[in-house]
Amino acid sequence: MNRRPPHSPISTPCVQCPIRRMSGFRDFKPKELAFIRSWKVAERRVPARGFVLQEQETIDELYTVLDGWAMKHKTLPDGRRQIINFAMPGDLLGLQASVDKAASHNIEALTDLTLCVLPRKGLWELFRGFAGLSYDITWLAAREEHILGEYLVALGQRTAQERIAFVLLDLFLRARRAALVTGNRMSMPVTQNHLADTAGLSLVHTNKSLQKLRAQGAFAWENSTFELLDLELLANLAHKTVEPAPPRPFL
Amino acid sequence: MNRRPPHSPISTPCVQCPIRRMSGFRDFKPKELAFIRSWKVAERRVPARGFVLQEQETIDELYTVLDGWAMKHKTLPDGRRQIINFAMPGDLLGLQASVDKAASHNIEALTDLTLCVLPRKGLWELFRGFAGLSYDITWLAAREEHILGEYLVALGQRTAQERIAFVLLDLFLRARRAALVTGNRMSMPVTQNHLADTAGLSLVHTNKSLQKLRAQGAFAWENSTFELLDLELLANLAHKTVEPAPPRPFL
DNA sequence: CGGATGTTTGAAAATAGTCAACCGAGGTGG
DNA sequence: CCACCTCGGTTGACTATTTTCAAACATCCG
């Protein structure tokens, strides 16, 4: 049940990693870069709607997203699905599954996805020899915790419209940090169904709330293209304050 | 605005740390234990309802809970409060705030609380010299992420009764691992208001849902004492499967 | 006794979910 | 070329859940 196509050869050498060149990501020291380069053994491509990882599965790899979007979600026995978080270029996938013995959630590609493959055992070498990178991993884990905490507040306390505004704004800001936004516009491979399962709302109610939000003119969203029209307004609708983000690490 | 009583002298030497002696926690190697012992500089006591840490605050300390319960929560500008998670003996507090520059949530004591104080800069020494402990930190961060993910599913997909059953069961199981349960009974310093703010429900609805749950006989809860009567039934009501937990690290 | 905290209740109002269609764009096969 | 899918988005009517408001009640404590 675990047939996967073989990994692709490396077509994106680390030294010219597109993510390193984005602003907002921290620089490596030469030794760190050399280690990461030796750690990266392959690339993996996952087609849209394909699974990077399924619940209960064990993996001996970590991934860094090089290109594309993915989502992490869990499904209850009766079919209800909750999207836990999205992943974009620069995000690390599979840490939880590597540290624990089994994945606690599915990771599914929203677009065709290119991943940088990092074998699990390199993690040990990293912890033994690279304190800075070890700290980075912790940083990434803490950031994930922080995001999930924000979403918990959204699901627990915000109204439907606020929740939807919150998710859209969060996705926009994260996409912008990953250099996916040009002139306040971005391609957003997310359906209203995804949005509903993220916000914990029914599809119908999501749609209706979305209409009301749209009418307020903070954003436009059609044909998988999202455009931010009024950041401050959207932030108000989401009851969220927007702070500038510090430079972040990646692997 | 940041007046704190001075830390207490160490009254609980690490070698006889009560947590180390609990089953379910991993053993240290002698060198690791020596490091942790040198890292621990003091104990801090926080009275019930006191704050360990407030949102936006910066700290240069991490804490391990030695005794008592705490909760992490965030408050929206208009007063709505969401409890993100609870903490019990053995749990690490303040990692997010140490790694980031400012705390993303409040940490408030539910009971009188005894904390083991670990200065932030020891974290660097840990990452430089103790791969096993570095891995442990990552493990703890991943565990936190895992718990928050579970709660996201609960808030997004579960009905009111399921949510409440879920929270109660989760608290019970975690308390049991922290050796707080004797004969299926435990002291639970949580009010219905806390439960409501954890489950994302109003107080009134929490109360009414709780009655219906109580009527099914899976647990008894009165006078701050919780007793589990039927694990399987409660797990079913929560739509949750209970798996045995592996030994866990702590600091 | 009087306050504070925590729990409980009933009734009305608001929010969100379900059901059942329909629309439009894109793709496929005859 | 067109019939026929599927998928994503949209709508209206109805039902169910959840919140809000307002008031009691119980216990503990100074």
CATH number of this structure's domain B14-148: 2.60.120.10
Q: Give the whole-angstrom CA distance, residue A50 versus residue A142.
A: 27
Q: Is the CB of A201 under 7 A from strand C?
A: yes
Distance CA A118, CA B106 (A): 35
For B24-51, the pLDDT digits (tens) are 899 999 999 999 999 999 999 999 999 9
State the nearest Cα–Cα gap between B235 and chain A, in angstroms. 13
Across B151-169, average pLDDT: 98
Rounded CA separation A83/B152 (Å): 9
Position B20 pLDDT exceeds 90: no
Single out the residue of A198, A13, A17, A222 nearest to residue A108, CA to CA: A198
Q: Where are the domains of chain B?
A: 14-148, 158-238
Give Cα B234 distance to the centre of its chain: 21
**Looking at this protein, which amino acid is placed at residue A110?**
L
Burial (CB count <10 Å: 0-12, 13-18, 19+), residue B8: middle
pLDDT digits (tens, 9 = 90+) for B7-16: 777 777 777 7
Residues 163-202 of B with CB under 7 A from strand C: 191-193
Residue A211: closest CA among A195, A198, A188: A195
Nucleic strand D within 7 A of Cβ A220: no
Q: What is the pLDDT of residue A66?
A: 95
Test the B interface: residue of A107, A145, A240, A243 with most B CBs within 10 Å: A145
Mean pLDDT of B142-159: 97
B176 touches strand D (CB under 7 A): no
Per-residue pLDDT tens digits for A204-228:
999 999 999 999 999 999 999 999 9
pLDDT of residue B6: 67
Pairing of strands B70-75, A51-53: unpaired
Is the per-residue pLDDT at B58 higher than 80? Answer: yes
Identify residue A121 by its one-letter amino acid code: K
Fold of B158-238: Arc Repressor Mutant, subunit A (1.10.10)
Q: Which residue has the tokens 């677009």?
A: A111
Q: What is the pLDDT of residue A6?
A: 67
Distances in Å between the Cα of A72 and the Cα atoms of A81, B173, B233 are 10, 25, 29
B positions 192-251 inside 8 Å of A (CB): 197-200, 239, 246
Contact B138 A139 (CB under 8 A): no
- pLDDT of the residue at A77: 87
H-only helix segments in A16-130: 30-39, 95-99, 121-129
pLDDT at site A8: 73
Looking at residues B157-164, what average pLDDT do you find?
Answer: 98
For chain A, residues with pLDDT lower than 70 are: 1-6
pLDDT for the residue A9: 72
User: Scanning the structure block, which residue is given the tokens 């992943």?
Assistant: A87
Look up residue B158 and give its two tokens: 């579960």
Q: How far is CA A226 from CA A126, A161, A200, in A?
A: 39, 17, 21
Q: What is the pLDDT of residue B2?
A: 47
Number of CB atoms found within 10 A of residue B1's CB? 4
CATH classification of A156-238 is 1.10.10.10, yes or no?
yes
